[in-house]
């Protein structure tokens, strides 16, 4: 069964890029339809449960590629529902990066200074707040103390968690039961709906075709609500303007599949993918040393043994975010929690004599799980990911009814990428093996390749048409009326968590997108306040639009 | 979804168990347990429910298990020949392999260059997942049944309503100097 509807704007995906666009366009008066492949869950549906089929596997997505696996959200709200809500701004030097292309990767119009007012808009909207040491969970405190012991600095990271509401359950990856985490379900999306936007969950967009009037037809399939391997009806929606925000692992795939009808895609569609230079190390702490060397103890008498307690990453070390260091040698380190199920298999036994990721020694390591500390590196990779031919539907061949699939991304880390990873491995060892505090080993890349929760750059903005798919207004080169506002538009690795930068870029793109919609005959205006009505940040950006 | 395994072949189950036990080894369930090698103390992936998890149709491996079992035993027979090992032919070849050889074979099959790597990694991933997160049970039931994996890793149990909360969570004090260039918003400069 196929039916054709029409609207002003179709937004594909409801993560940061999609939600922000949907809100501004709807608030400005456009008819907006959001198509999201995943289900639409509310706080009371977010379970603390590892069972296959619980909210945890319904809202999560894990696509294994050739040399790189991507973790992300699969629900209304996208990655914001499963994310850890650590929301720092990218350091100034990031915008000056050249990467492998021999020229500045970012458009000339974007620097940290020009992006700051747009960062402000997002921090007001979610909101994002500065954090205090008093409320940093044990794991973050431990990492901070170890950094200080090693002569380094550490900072509580800015966060979009309302810490007064947070119970430190560390179930953020299954969605926040307590609405303490400021996901998009609490701000941009309900505000978009209040302004008339319609969100359709379980609608997976497959491709776009061009209409005679310069608009686009969006082709989707309805996804089974329990078994995502099953696709039901198909449908089509005609729109004057399309916002593509399916995430860096899906946006280029939709465009590749659309190429036979739309015509040639820019060279950079599906190229220059970055995993944000991610790398993980797991440390197994010696509890006695934690007490004796760092002087830490908990009310129950233990020193640490609290891996399970907290709210993801809360403390970061920014000593290597130094713009005077050479490119590929700068990175941040962040304490992290990763739940069992996904978070133990790749951890390797430090100094293993047999297999490092399974077997006898691994089981012994698992016995000490509460004394683990995971350290997350975000470094400068080389944009070396390339997407192969698209799968039949979606962006992956789905293996399990939910969560697990394999996709067409190929990633072979270059020597540059390895330089950052090796330097950061050494830094983690220096901090955590000092005075016998812990034993440390990086996660293996042998099983699912490298892995990222921060996919970026697969359809990026830039000034050079040869190496960027979008112009600096986020319009797809050669395909007017298609805009990309998700993480795929970010030019490269950021050395910090990316969601705030993705969101700030989407905010920055909105005045131009509204203008383009008007030129296409949509009655829409730019100028909505923050979703809760706050106006300080809107006032601040007004002179720039 | 319920596993559909009423009339599965015991040799098939034993082979899967032996693989899962190689990933997370455990104690023998009885003195004549052949599938579980008994290489480690306490329950391993098998006692944790690896077979139940793998047999769930929703997991995606259930349909492939027959052919995986066949292939695994084929590899095991080949491995035995190559290493001059005589195998007891009363049990499947992989089950007949001593633990250290099962381990060596799993290492070979999951190595980056092995053409079937993805399938053997997936089998290991699910075996591990049964142990460390009991993904075939609700987490509350897993605790009620004293799930060996969750107990081994020391996972703290939920409150009576099935939700986790940790009222004590912080050392409550500054533990490192801030980066000197931190901005007023608490960001890197
Ligand atoms: C476990 C985890 C923790 C994280 N923690 C942090 C953190 O602390 N700080 C931070 O900055 N970042 C974090 N991130 C990353 C952050 O979530 C992402 O960078 C961000 O969500 C990306 O936004 P986006 O708009 O690019 O895409 P997404 O948020 O991924 O949204 C894309 C949406 O499109 C949907 N979609 C995909 N294909 C289709 C299709 N064909 N049709 C319709 N819909 C489709 C997806 O289901 C998804 O909802 C984390 C990610 C994970 C997985």
DSSP result, A392-438 = SSTTSEE-SSSEEEEEEEE----HHHHHHHHHHHHHHHHHHSGGG-E
**Residue-level pLDDT at A343:** 82
Residue of A515, A535, A531 whose CA lies nearest to A523? A515
Q: Given pLDDT bands bounded at 50, 70 and 90, which one contains residue B8? A: confident
Of B23, B129, B169, the CB nearest to A138: B169
Where are any strands of DSSP class E within A76-188? 155-156
Contact with chain A for residue B115, Cβ under 8 A? no
Contact with chain B for residue A299, Cβ under 8 A? yes
List, in order, residues 6 or more apart from A479 with CB less than 8 Å away. A262, A263, A265
C-alpha count within 13 angstroms, C-beta hemisphere, residue A398: 19
Q: Measured in angstroms, how far is the CA atom of residue A487 from the centroid of ligand 1?
A: 8
- Asked whether the beta carbons of residue A50 and residue B125 sit closer than 8 angstroms, the reply is no
Contact with chain B for residue A347, Cβ under 8 A? no
Residue of B48, B53, B63 whose CA lies nearest to B136? B53
CB count, 10 Å around CB of A236? 14
Span B39-84, pLDDT tens digits: 999 999 999 999 999 999 999 999 999 999 999 999 999 999 999 9
Contact with chain A for residue B110, Cβ under 8 A? yes
Query: Rounded to whole angstroms, how far apart are CA atoms A135 and A310?
Result: 10
The structure tokens listed for A140 are 């973050």
Instruction: Please state, in angstroms and as integers, the Cα–Cα distance from residue A81 to each residue in A10, A93, A212, B117, B132, following that order.
Output: 21, 30, 38, 32, 23
Span A296-341, pLDDT tens digits: 999 999 999 999 999 999 999 999 999 999 999 999 999 999 999 8
Q: Measured in angstroms, how far is the CA atom of residue A80 from the centroid of ligand 1?
A: 6
Is the bond preceding residue A127 a cis peptide, omega within 30 degrees? yes
Local structure of residue B90 (DSSP, 8 states) = T
pLDDT average, residue stretch A287-291: 98
Residue of A350, A270, A313, A28 whose CA lies nearest to A156? A313
Local structure of residue A38 (DSSP, 8 states) = S
- Asked whether the beta carbons of residue B186 and residue A157 sit closer than 8 angstroms, the reply is yes
Of B110, B124, B138, the CB nearest to A51: B138
Query: Rounded to whole angstroms, how far apart are CA atoms B75 and B87?
Result: 13
Whole-model pTM over 0.95: yes
- Answer yes or no: is pLDDT of A342 > 90: no
Ligand 1 pocket test: pick from A246, A332, A504 the residue with the most ligand atoms within 8 Å of its Cβ. Answer: A246
Beta bridge partners of A420: none
- Strands lying side by side in the sheet with A372-379: A155-156, A315-317, A331-336, A372-379, A278-285, A438-442
Residues found in chain B: 189
- Answer yes or no: is pLDDT of A229 > 50: yes
**Residue-level pLDDT at A341:** 84
**Residue A248 alpha carbon, nearest atom of ligand 1:** 26
Span A449-464, pLDDT tens digits: 999 999 999 999 999 9
Three-state secondary-structure class, residue A111: coil
- Answer yes or no: is pLDDT of A55 > 90: yes
**Residue-level pLDDT at B2:** 44
Burial zone of A79 (CB within 10 Å; 0-12 exposed, 13-18 middle, 19+ buried) = buried
Of B103, B122, B176, the CB nearest to A147: B176
Residues 64-93 of B with CB under 8 A from A: none
Residues of A in contact with B171 (CB under 8 A): 136, 138, 141-142, 145, 296, 298
Share of chain A above pLDDT 90, in %: 97
Of B56, B59, B168, the CB nearest to A299: B168
Where are any strands of DSSP class E within A28-133? 32-35, 60-66, 68-73
**Residue-level pLDDT at B1:** 42
Span B119-160, pLDDT tens digits: 999 999 999 999 999 999 999 999 999 999 999 999 999 999
Contact A472, A461 (CB under 8 A): yes
**Residue A485 alpha carbon, nearest atom of ligand 1:** 25
Q: Given pLDDT bands bounded at 50, 70 and 90, which one contains residue A2? A: low
Span A245-284, pLDDT tens digits: 999 999 999 999 999 999 999 999 999 999 999 999 999 9
CB count, 10 Å around CB of A328? 23
Where are any strands of DSSP class E within A179-266? 198-200, 203-210, 216-223, 231-244
Contact with chain A for residue B48, Cβ under 8 A? no
- Answer yes or no: is pLDDT of A108 > 60: yes
**Residue-level pLDDT at B147:** 98
**Residue-level pLDDT at B7:** 62
**Residue-level pLDDT at B28:** 98
Span A366-420, pLDDT tens digits: 999 999 999 999 999 999 999 999 999 999 999 999 999 999 999 999 999 999 9
Three-state secondary-structure class, residue A242: strand
Three-state secondary-structure class, residue A206: strand
Instruction: Please state, in angstroms and as integers, the Cα–Cα distance from residue B116 to each residue in A27, A275, B68, B95, B109, following that order.
Output: 52, 25, 10, 20, 7
Share of chain A above pLDDT 70, in %: 100
| Torsion sign across C-alpha atoms A347, A349, A355, A360 | negative
């Amino acid at each position: 069964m196929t039916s054709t509807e029409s609207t002003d704007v179709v937004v594909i995906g409801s993560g940061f890029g999609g939600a922000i666009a949907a809100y501004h366009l709807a608030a400005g008066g456009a008819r907006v339809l959001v198509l999201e492949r995943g289900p639409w869950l509310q706080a009371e549906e977010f379970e603390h449960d590892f069972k296959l089929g619980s909210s945890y596997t319904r809202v999560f997505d894990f696509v294994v590629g050739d040399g790189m696996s991507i973790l992300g959200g699969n629900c209304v709200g996208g990655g914001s529902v499963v994310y850890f809500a650590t929301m720092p701004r990218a350091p100034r030097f990031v915008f000056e990066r050249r990467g492998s292309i021999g020229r500045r990767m970012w458009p000339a119009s974007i620097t940290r200074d020009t992006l700051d007012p747009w960062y402000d808009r997002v921090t007001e909207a979610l909101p994002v707040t500065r954090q205090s040491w008093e409320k940093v969970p044990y794991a973050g405190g431990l990492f901070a103390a170890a950094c200080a012991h090693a002569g380094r600095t550490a900072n509580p990271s800015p966060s979009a968690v309302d810490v007064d509401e947070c119970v430190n359950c560390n179930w953020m990856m299954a969605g926040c039961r307590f609405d303490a985490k400021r996901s998009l379900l609490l701000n941009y999306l309900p505000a978009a709906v209040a302004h008339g936007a319609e969100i359709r969950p379980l609608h997976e967009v497959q491709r776009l075709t061009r209409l005679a009037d310069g608009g686009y037809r969006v082709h989707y399939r309805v996804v089974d609500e329990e078994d995502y391997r099953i696709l039901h009806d198909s449908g089509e929606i005609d729109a004057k303007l399309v916002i593509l925000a399916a995430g860096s692992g899906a946006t280029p795939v939709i465009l590749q599949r659309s190429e036979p009808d739309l015509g040639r895609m820019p060279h950079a569609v599906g190229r220059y993918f970055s995993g944000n230079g991610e790398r993980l190390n797991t440390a197994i702490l010696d509890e006695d040393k934690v007490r004796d060397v760092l002087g830490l103890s908990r009310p129950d008498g233990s020193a640490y043994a609290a891996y399970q307690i907290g709210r993801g990453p809360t403390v970061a070390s920014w000593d290597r975010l130094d713009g005077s260091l050479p490119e590929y040698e700068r990175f941040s380190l962040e304490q992290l929690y990763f739940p069992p199920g996904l978070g133990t298999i790749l951890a390797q036994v430090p100094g293993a004599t047999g297999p490092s990721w399974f077997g006898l020694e691994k089981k012994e390591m698992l016995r000490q799980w509460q004394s683990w500390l995971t350290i997350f590196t975000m470094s400068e990779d080389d944009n070396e990911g390339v997407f192969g031919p698209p799968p039949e539907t979606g962006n992956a061949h789905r293996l399990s009814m939910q969560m697990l699939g394999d996709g067409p991304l190929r990633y072979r880390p270059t020597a540059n990428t390895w330089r950052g990873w090796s330097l950061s491995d050494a830094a983690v060892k220096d901090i955590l093996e000092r005075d016998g505090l812990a034993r440390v080993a990086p996660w293996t890349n042998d099983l699912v390749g490298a892995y990222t929760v921060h996919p970026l750059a697969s359809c990026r903005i830039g000034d050079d048409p040869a190496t960027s798919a979008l112009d600096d207004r986020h319009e797809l080169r050669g395909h007017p009326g298609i805009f990309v506002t998700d993480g795929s538009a970010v030019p490269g690795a950021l050395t910090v968590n990316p969601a705030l930068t993705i969101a700030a870029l989407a905010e920055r793109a909105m005045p131009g997108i509204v203008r383009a919609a008007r030129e296409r005959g949509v009655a829409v205006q730019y100028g909505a306040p923050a979703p809760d009505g706050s106006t300080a940040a809107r006032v601040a950006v007004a002179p720039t639009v | 979804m319920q596993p559909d395994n009423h009339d599965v072949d015991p040799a098939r189950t034993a082979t899967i168990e032996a693989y899962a036990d190689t990933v997370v080894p455990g104690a023998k369930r009885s003195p004549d347990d052949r599938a579980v090698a008994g290489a480690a103390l306490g329950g391993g992936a098998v006692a944790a429910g690896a077979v139940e998890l793998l047999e769930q149709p929703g997991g995606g491996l259930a349909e492939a298990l027959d052919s995986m079992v066949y292939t695994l035993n084929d590899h095991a027979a080949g491995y035995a020949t190559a290493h001059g090992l005589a195998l007891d032919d009363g049990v499947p070849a992989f089950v007949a392999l001593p633990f250290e050889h099962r381990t060596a074979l799993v290492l070979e099959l999951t190595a980056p260059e092995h053409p079937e790597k993805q399938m053997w990694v997936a089998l290991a991933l699910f075996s591990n997942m049964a142990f460390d997160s009991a993904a075939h049970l609700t987490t509350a039931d897993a605790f009620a049944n004293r799930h060996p994996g969750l107990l081994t890793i020391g996972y703290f149990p939920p409150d009576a309503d099935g939700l986790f909360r940790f009222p004590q969570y912080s050392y409550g004090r500054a533990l490192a100097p801030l980066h000197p260039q931190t901005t007023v918003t608490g960001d890197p400069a």
